Homo-oligomer: A and B are copies of this chain.
Amino acid sequence: MTATHPRLSINQATIKHATLPDALDVTAGAGLRSIGLWREPVADVGLTEAAAMLADSGLRMSSYCRGGFFTMPEGPERRASLDDNRRAIEETAALAAAGAPGSRAVLVLVAGGLPEGSRDLIGARARVREALEELAPAAAAAGVTLAVEPLHPMYAADRAVVSTLGQSLDLVDGLPPEVAGVTVDTFHIWWDPAALDLIARAGREGRIAAYQVCDWRAPLEADVLLSRHQPGDGVIDFEVLTRAVEDTGYDGDVEVEIFNADIWARDHRRVVAETSDSFGRVVAPHLRS
């Protein structure tokens, strides 16, 4: 068992079935300093109470998951989605203010897939840009960075039409970096022949708002959404990717975000301990600080 790295953050999805107080408790109890929160468990206790709990925990918030899902054409559904994203921006700001110093007011955005019955991928992608432009003023006013996350191309139809880091960078181009950045997640980008160049570009352009790690292993789980593994349990080279991120000057928290039914079924304290251990062995050696 290695010591808990000070930049390790547990993304709450890794212990999905924990309530917010439980998640804060096991995370702080294991000696971690940071946590990535999700909207649903925050909503379960209410924003004000959630902010108080986070403050009491002494933990930083590394990011808030998640907004997005705004690929649909103009109409009431799109308006509802954008309104909901504005609420998510406000929540991000409130929670980051309540978290320990170093908390990051970063809202992770998952674009959403093709609208039901649509094959217009190009149009859906254009609407992501339109949504970012529409949300940018609210983010700027709240001091929140929107972190557009490219998802692995296997999710392009049903989860996220944003499929590469390069596309994410193109989508935020022209918006202020403090308002619109990207999420770098090893699981989603490890395969990309341009991954290292794109990480360097993201750094040059000041866009790395979050760095998330987990591993890829073949064969995939039957539900490909739940096919994320602990760093070291798969084929991703965390040295190459982590050093590339570090070389940009990124010095923020590093989240372990795992969707995996087996891991979700385990005791949360055990999961946090296992995560701290795998992170310490596989990721931490490549962090500069």
Which A residues contact B (CB, under 8 angstroms)? 113-114, 118-122, 125, 152-154, 156-158, 163-164, 166-167, 170, 190-193, 216-220, 222-224, 234-237, 240
Cβ contacts under 8 Å, A190 to chain B: 121, 156
Contact B153 A217, beta carbon cutoff 8 Å = no
Task: Tell me if A's interface is mostly helix, strand, loop or mixed.
Answer: loop
A237 near B119: Cβ-Cβ < 8 Å: yes
A154 contact from B118, B121, B153, B240, Cβ within 8 A? B153
Report how far A217 CA is from B125 CA in the complex, Å: 18
* A153, A156, A190 pick with most chain B CB within 10 angstroms: A153
Give the complex CA separation of A154 and B120 in angstroms. 22
In the complex, the count of this chain's copies comes to: 2
| Residues in B neighbouring A154, C-beta threshold 8 A | 152-154, 220, 224
| Contact yes or no, A240 B122, CB < 8 A | yes
20 A-B contact pairs sorted by A residue (CB < 8 Å): A113-B218, A119-B235, A119-B237, A121-B237, A125-B193, A152-B154, A153-B153, A153-B191, A153-B192, A154-B154, A156-B190, A156-B191, A157-B191, A157-B216, A163-B191, A163-B192, A164-B192, A167-B193, A219-B223, A224-B224
Cα distance A119–B191 when bound, in Å?
Answer: 11
How near does chain B come to A87, taking the closest CB pair, in angstroms?
A: 28
**What is the bound-complex CA distance between A153 and B190, given in angstroms?**
9
What are the residues of chain B within 8 A of A122 when measuring CB–CB?
A: 240
Report how far A114 CA is from B167 CA in the complex, Å.
26
Known: A220-B224, A224-B224. A120 touches B237 (CB 8 A): yes
Contacts of A153 in B (CB 8 A): 152-154, 191-192
**In the complex, which residue of chain B has the Cβ closest to the Cβ of A168?**
B193
Please tell me which one of the listed residues B114, B193, B224 contacts residue A166 in the complex, with CB atoms under 8 A apart.
Answer: B193
